[in-house]
Amino acid sequence: MPSIQHLDALLQQVGKIIPKDLPNLHKDLENNLRRNLDELFSRMYLVTREEFDLQTAVLAKTRAKLTALQQRVAQLEQQLQTKD
């Protein structure tokens, strides 16, 4: 999920477009935009970078185990074939 800093930076960029002589409009737009962005990101099923990195590590470990098991099965199959 995008960090608060990213959202704040985006809102600041939008805020620069709105004339400063309309402070109520500026604040209302900022609040509405923040609420809409928060809602949009929550519906996107995003994960944090930490969660992504953790799942990447789990996947790498699982792949290594799978490779080792495939090699072991191949060895056992070869042993069975040589005994016949």
Query: What confidence score (pLDDT) does residue 80 get?
Result: 92
Query: What confidence score (pLDDT) does residue 76 get?
Result: 96
| Tokens standing for residue 47 | 């994960």
- For every one of its 84 residues, what pLDDT tens digit does the chain have, with 9 covering 90 and above? 456 677 778 777 877 777 767 767 777 877 888 888 888 878 888 888 999 999 999 999 999 999 999 999 999 999 999 986
- Residue type present at position 52: F
Report residue 16: phi and psi, to 5°: -70, -25
Query: What confidence score (pLDDT) does residue 37 get?
Result: 80
Query: What confidence score (pLDDT) does residue 32 get?
Result: 86
